[in-house]
Amino acid sequence: MPVILLILSFPAGILAYTLALRVMQSVSLPTDASGLLLLFVPLLVAGLVMLPFLIPFFDRKAKQDLAEYRRIQAAAVPAGGEQPGAGPSVGGPENAEPSGAQPSSVEDSGPSTGGPSRVEPSAAETPDAGPG
């Protein structure tokens, strides 16, 4: 059925173009814009008339392409069911803090956890450390 509608869209477009052209010629238009209007308005009308005939054809083609893409993606997945390179997510629930725990910060982590330790500034580096 979509192929039949595709074939019927061309005669419908030609008919719409000729009718719109006749209507535009019967309307008194300013001479400056009449050439462009007589060209583009009938083309617009023809395109709008052809559109409902063309949509089912392109919709069927898009569904076929999507089914082919999904088939290729399903064939590319290994037998284990996981996609290659898809490991556990970093921010997933397995990495979440326990329900009563406070989130850790940089200051709390010491050398035992491998994180940076907090270094206290010396007296010479602080801005208000001076004589007096």
Indicate whether 33 belongs to any domain: yes
Question: In terms of Cα–Cα distance, which of 22, 62, 77, 71 is closest to 45?
Answer: 22
The residue range of the domain holding 68 is: 2-76
Indicate whether 21 belongs to any domain: yes
In the chain, alpha helices (H): 2-26, 31-76
Indicate whether 104 belongs to any domain: no
Indicate whether 103 belongs to any domain: no
Cα 22 to Cα 70: distance, rounded to the nearest angstrom:
49
Q: What is the pTM of this model?
A: 0.51
Indicate whether 86 belongs to any domain: no
Indicate whether 26 belongs to any domain: yes
pLDDT of the chain along its 132 residues, tens only? 888 988 999 999 999 999 999 999 898 888 887 888 888 999 999 999 999 999 999 999 999 999 999 999 999 886 666 555 555 555 555 555 555 555 555 555 455 555 555 666 665 555 665 565
Q: What are the residues whose beta carbons fall under 8 Å from the beta carbon of 23, sequence distance 6 or more?
A: none
